[in-house]
């Protein structure tokens, strides 16, 4: 296992920046350990798997979790508004960092993560294989 830490700044797209970092550092299998910061635009897909929400307001990132595979990322985010209301869902593009987003990723060498279409869900789902060293 190897840890990676990065800080995003104002205007950076949260999802795209994580994907770009993953590609630049050749992270084939990993997960988000923590993320704190804030955003001024929100891009999330709701639990129905269809509805996408785009909001323009200030939100604190209270949680970001997910997996990174060589075939893509799967990230969920929870955000808190200025009136302490929490929203969340599947992180899409268009979630823009306000002042900062401090992220720690864990690269996992012991497993190979890929994604494969699962007819039962209709999505590319995580496939986990143990790597023998």
User: Tens-digit pLDDT profile for the chain (133 aa)?
Assistant: 999 999 999 999 999 999 999 999 999 999 999 999 999 999 999 999 899 999 999 999 999 999 999 999 999 999 999 999 999 999 999 999 999 999 999 999 999 999 999 999 998 999 999 987 5
Q: What is the model's pLDDT at position 88?
A: 96
What CATH architecture applies to the domain 2-130?
2-Layer Sandwich (3.30)
pTM (2 d.p.) = 0.93
Extract the tokens encoding 124. 């590319």
Q: What is the model's pLDDT at position 109?
A: 94
Region of 109 (left: φ > 0; alpha: ψ -120 to 50; beta: rest) is: alpha
């Amino acid at each position: 296992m190897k840890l990676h830490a990065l800080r995003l700044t104002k205007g950076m797209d949260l999802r795209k920046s994580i994907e770009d970092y993953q590609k630049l550092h050749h992270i084939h299998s990993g997960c988000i350990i923590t993320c704190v910061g804030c955003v001024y635009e929100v891009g999330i897909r709701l639990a129905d798997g269809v509805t996408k929400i785009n909001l323009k307001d200030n939100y604190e990132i209270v949680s970001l979790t997910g997996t990174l595979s060589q075939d893509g990322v799967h990230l969920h985010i929870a955000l808190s508004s200025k009136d302490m209301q929490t929203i969340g869902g599947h992180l899409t593009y268009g979630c823009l960092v306000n002042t900062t987003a401090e992220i720690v990723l864990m690269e996992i060498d012991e497993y190979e993560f890929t994604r494969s279409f699962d007819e039962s869900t209709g999505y590319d789902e995580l496939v986990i294989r143990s790597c023998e060293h």
